[in-house]
Amino acid sequence: MTTGPSTLISGATLATMADSGPYGRIEDGAVLLENGMIAWVGAAAQAPRADRVIKASGVLTPGLLDCHTHLVYGGNRADEFEKRLNGASYADIARAGGGILSTVRSTRAASQAELVAQSLPRLDCLLAEGVTTVEIKSGYGLDVETEVKMLRAARALGRSRPVSVVTSFLGAHAFPPEYKDDRQAYVRLVCEEAMPAVAAAGLADAVDGFCEGIALSVAEMEAVFEAAIRHGLKVKLHAEQLSNLGGAAMAARHGALSVDHIEYLDEAGVAAIAASGTVATLLPGAFYYLREKQAPPLALLRQYEVPIAVATDLNPGSSPVHSLLSTMNMAAVLFGLTPAEALAGTTVNAARALGLADRGCIVPGQRADLALWDVAEPGELVYALGRNPLKAAWMGGDCVRGKP
């Protein structure tokens, strides 16, 4: 195989996020990029020769991954934000036909091109903060045509910008109005029509669902997961967000990549996800916006050594949060994650939540997706709110933003 020109990024503090100590830190480090991959990592003084050397300062991290977003949607729900602050609850609004169903109406009404146009500025907010991989869910269509349209819009976004887009089919997000009196028929539509269509077109990398009193039951979700597994698709779940139904343990039995939200997860649930190697994805933006009181069981997650990811949950209702750095700060302040845990949550553990073994750490053999920051310490990425210290970002070895 012929090798292209190599580039050495030299002089920054590396937060490799590999196993060795907090942040996998290397002072005055260097990273050799070759053919889009990381070829060597170590101290700058020991670095191999390269065709080109970039002198860098500050902190170099893996490119960030936002492993849970609903950033493709039509319209917005600023009106519900007002209603909640005037006393209505998220569940009240959902029961009255607002909430997710309000976004379903505006998403059905939008063309694919309109969805892309409305969603691009949201994606750009994430990319401006060093995100190089983003997961995007469907789930605001709740019919075959609109679910497919949303996933096509998500794939189109991935072609419009230097970013890897990973998609999840979330037909099991809520019951559409036309099926509210025949839930089983909707579950059949998801399993027997929408999922085969999405899988045949290669539009979904995984299947997600919302298991909650106001959404699907554990048994309904289990039927969806069994269909997913028949289609060779991995599963993940919005679970235990507002109550403890046992969704996470059911997801664990199906080898879920992640269970997300999990404020109400109990010890048995934590033990179940620990045994299945499922990632706990924390979504402090929704906790913050819904002014929840019950934080996820961090002490148990640590005790059982469950990998913890952190994501924006960017969506028009429960989490209109367009900043992964702010989300890391919220994970620390609201949930008590250490800054090192918060950064692991948007790098190594977020990659794991997406089932991606080729990114998330700065180690040889991984994709050269990197972010360089104008900070002295990695913890500063979590410490400040409203400051974006990104200097430069690389995707597959190409500098796609800023300059070092």
> Interface with Fe ion by CB under 5 A: which residues?
313
Closest CB 390 distance from Fe ion, rounded Å: 25
Q: Count Cβ atoms below 10 Å from residue 14 Cβ, excluding itself.
A: 28
| Closest to ligand NIG by CB, 75 or 162 | 75
- Distance from the first to the final alpha carbon of the chain: 29
Query: Whose CB is nearest to Fe ion?
Result: 313
3-class SS of residue 211: strand
Partner interacting with residue 401 (select from Fe ion, ligand NIG, none; CB below 5-8 Å by kind):
none
| Closest to ligand NIG by CB, 32 or 125 | 125
Q: Count Cβ atoms below 10 Å from residue 114 Cβ, excluding itself.
A: 15
Length of the chain: 404
Asked whether the CA dihedral 169, 214, 87, 80 is positive or negative, the reply is positive
Q: In what order do the strands lie in the sheet with 7-10?
A: 37-43, 29-34, 7-10, 52-55
Partner interacting with residue 316 (select from ligand NIG, Fe ion, none; CB below 5-8 Å by kind):
ligand NIG
| Closest to Fe ion by CB, 209 or 307 | 209
| Closest to ligand NIG by CB, 22 or 320 | 320
Closest CB 94 distance from ligand NIG, rounded Å: 8
| Sites of contact with ligand NIG (CB under 6 A) | 70, 99-100, 103, 210, 238, 241, 286, 313, 315-319
Measured CA to CA in angstroms, residue 394 lies from 66, 126, 127, 167, 404 at distances of 16, 14, 11, 22, 10
Q: Count Cβ atoms below 10 Å from residue 232 Cβ, excluding itself.
A: 7
Secondary structure letter of residue 49 according to DSSP: P
| Closest to ligand NIG by CB, 58 or 316 | 316
Closest CB 88 distance from Fe ion, rounded Å: 20
Closest CB 5 distance from ligand NIG, rounded Å: 43
- Contact assessment for residue 57 and residue 300, using Cβ atoms and an 8 Å cutoff: no
Partner interacting with residue 100 (select from ligand NIG, Fe ion, none; CB below 5-8 Å by kind):
ligand NIG
| Closest to ligand NIG by CB, 100 or 259 | 100
For 267, the token pair is 């010890």
Closest CB 238 distance from ligand NIG, rounded Å: 4
